[in-house]
Structure 1
Amino acid sequence: MGAAVVRAIRNFNLENRAAREISKVKPSPAPRHPSTKSLLREQMSGQADIKGEIGRKDDKLLSLLRDVYVNSRDPVSSAQDKDAGTPQEPKEFRLPKGNHFDINIENIPKGKVSIVEALTLLNNHKLYPDKWTAEKIAKEYHLEQKDVNSVLKYFVTFEVKIFPPEGKKAIQSK
């Protein structure tokens, strides 16, 4: 019921509204500068044959255009070219450190660590910085020294601190 009312209102006087829109004056191009009007008239009147040339179809050019067939392919980059020519070097792997073996991780590429190992080495360095230096970590996990220094500088493990409410006293641990 409601749709019929809406449709009736939407279509009310539709033909008259459409005719009114169609009969409106179309926008005209922007006016040209007065100094160029005379130059344009002079050029158009002096070269009337150019106006005809612009509108005329050239059968010879159209036939040549029909004969053109373009087949394009993406160019092969030089990096892909090098990869195809030389076989990849075999990667060196190492076994995971610690007693927290994950069944999904069988071996780890040298120069990389698992998440568990990263957390372990960060925690070890935090607890025992004299024993677990950046040099020892780099040697132990087969990492580069600069990477280990960056990791130790910019990453820290989470530390949970529980503060007692202000109104209550904390229970002392024994």
Structure 2
Amino acid sequence: MGAMVTRKLGKINVEARAHREIGKAKPVPAPRHPKMDKEDLSAEFQEEVTKKDDRLHTLLKDIYVDSSDPLKHVDKGERIPAKWKEYRTTRVGHLSQLDVHTVPKGTISIIEALTLLRNHQESPKIWTVGRIAEEYSLELKDVTALVTYFSPFSVTVSPPKDRKALRSP
């Protein structure tokens, strides 16, 4: 019911409202920039580009920049800054063209991770945590955590809580 009343009130005096809106002063747009001919514009820029400024040229000749940052000495306990990372070559897998060939020291590729986990799982007396850390340039605590908590080759089947849920045929 309210919509019907609002519609009827909106139609009252429509013509007078329209004349009032049309009669209002409109804002004056900002003046446009005077147009230039394309030939004048391109010639002006070409002249500006090819012109040699002697003052700037002499100032440029006076500038000499020589940068020689001393190499930072890194102790064994410190971390190497990102731009000076040491890289090592990886053990190439069976997909040699798709494999990563260099990785930063302290990291390993996926293929190397799977290989070292398999080697440690098959012969833990030969592939000890210390040997893996030395072979792949890793920290001992990282290798210990990797061998302890990551085992991609073991399958664990947990028994169902409800015997009715899984029945074998």
TM range (shorter): 0.3 to 0.5
Larger helix share, 1 or 2: 1
**TM-score for both structures, normalised by structure 1:** 0.42
